[in-house]
Amino acid sequence: MNLILECVTSKYAKFDGRAGRKQFWLFMLAYFGAMMVIRALDGGMSMHDDLNGISALSVVFWLSMVLPYIAVSIRRLHDTNRSGWWFLIGLVPVIGLVWFFVLMVLSGTNGDNRFGPKPLT
């Protein structure tokens, strides 16, 4: 729980350093869980726009979480000793998303690397 809270508080937009697999995947689990709850609330309050497929609460939540998502992804790439620019590989249709997923699953480098010390797990 502390790893997730750290992503949205003290490391909200911190792009330097490293994030371990556990921190990244716990953040993603919490993000998608919260998004499902918010989407259900939007549907229950009839705030969902069927024409566009968007809702007010979902948009506000997404806008507030886009920076922490990018930051933890870049720190995760740093853990694998890759530049944060590899984040842009996700813009390539299909293959880029698969490759980005593979990069997020790879284990980090043991010990220190050029982006800092090994994150505590």
* Assigned domain for 29 exists: yes
* Assigned domain for 118 exists: no
16 or 1, higher pLDDT: 16
Distance CA 55, CA 34 (A): 14
* Assigned domain for 67 exists: yes
- Reduce the DSSP state of residue 54 to 3 states and report it: strand
Domain count within the chain: 1
Cβ contacts of 16 within 8 Å, gap of 6 or more: 75, 78, 115, 116
Residue 102 has pLDDT above 60, yes or no: yes
Residue 29 has pLDDT above 80, yes or no: yes
* Assigned domain for 112 exists: no
* Assigned domain for 111 exists: no
Q: pLDDT, tens digit, for every residue of 56-96?
A: 788 889 999 999 999 999 999 999 999 999 999 999 999 99
How sure is the predictor about 121, in pLDDT bands with cuts at 50, 70 and 90? low
Residue 94's domain spans which residues? 2-105
Distance CA 66, CA 94 (A): 21
* Assigned domain for 113 exists: no
pTM listed for this prediction:
0.86
* Assigned domain for 49 exists: yes
Q: What does the pLDDT read at residue 53?
A: 62
